[in-house]
Amino acid sequence: MKSSFSQTIRVGQSEVTRFGYGAMRLSGPVMFGFPADRDNARKVLHRAVELGVNFIDTADSYGPQANEVVIADALAPYKSELVIATKSGCVNGGPNTPPPWPVIGRPEYIYQQVELSLRNLKVERLDLWQLHAVDSTVPIEETLGAAIKLQEQGKIKDIGLSNVTLEDIERARKVAEIVSVQNLYNIAYRDQEPVVEFCEKHGMAFLPYFPMGGGLLPMPDEVLAQAAQRYDATASQLCLAWLLHRSPAILPIPGTSSLAHLEENMKSTALTLTDDQWAEIEAAVAAARGAA
């Protein structure tokens, strides 16, 4: 495990601060519709940028499309150093319908959704386009073929993947330059260790979603709270600091609709523990999950 903390990370052709923001929570309930308080959403996005965030992640399915519109309303025209990453390939299931959502990987759908994202985000080129999920009925090579053509047309700068296996990544890399992978990963859910190691080995960024559980995963909250208290931190800060410590390939993208939580999350970059201290926390988390 790496103990040093790099302040920046390369995501394809862009170099960004190694602490991003996931905009998913700036949507309506269960990621449907616009947020109830759009003025607050704008404030959160502005504050994130003020605090040094220059990588923001979204998807066309959040809303659907509403999340991209909120980002553009708040931040466009964008600062030159600001990278906006979006995704295509999942279809919002509708009100009160949590993921997993239907997946569509047909090339014509990818073409359509990229054009919509360009319009919604008010840009001529997507900084980072990510395949949201692999369609089991369409070869990933065929799906990515559409992204490659859009890249050749200047509408996509870099290509990434989400919700993928190692096999998916290896197949994708044979037809396209893949710069990032976004999978579920945090201190308690570490099934994606091989993917994290693959990304580190091959110079790809790894974007962990649900870095703190996201309310959808049962986390060992008591163990995390006790550990965080020992280091004068919150459980959320501990989870985010662990990701920064775990691998230089990891780019955390925590999301929140709260200005207070945003400020709290950003302070996790200052939390540094020794390898032995992290090992103790990891062991306690693993034991708690094993007993659950």
**What digits encode the pLDDT tens for the residues 173-192?**
999 999 999 999 999 999 99
pLDDT at 139 over 90: yes
> Which one is catalytic: 21, 62, 78, 109?
62
Backbone phi, psi, residue 183, to 5°: -130, 165
Q: Among candidates 137, 82, 84, 79, which has minimal Cα distance to 106? A: 137
Pairing of strands 178-184, 156-162: parallel
- Domain architecture of the chain: domains with CATH: 8-216+247-257 (3.20.20.100)
* The predicted structure's pLDDT at residue 292: 57
pLDDT in tens, 64-99: 999 999 999 999 999 999 999 999 999 999 999 999
Q: Kindly state the average pLDDT of the residues 44-61.
A: 98
Least confident of 10-24, 206-220, 251-265: 206-220
Q: Is 231 noted as a catalytic residue in this protein?
A: no
The per-residue pLDDT for 290 is: 85
> Quick one: pLDDT at residue 175?
98
Phi, psi of 90 (to 5 degrees): -115, 145
pLDDT score recorded for residue 2: 38
> Quick check: 291 pLDDT over 90?
no
Q: What is the mean pLDDT of residues 160-178?
A: 98
Q: In this structure, what are the phi and psi dihedrals at residue 11, rounded to the nearest 5 degrees? A: -120, 95
Distance CA 119, CA 237 (A): 35
What is the pLDDT of the chain when averaged over all its residues?
Answer: 96
Q: Whole-prediction pTM value?
A: 0.96
For residue 292, what are the CA distances in angstroms to 224, 287, 289? Answer: 14, 9, 5
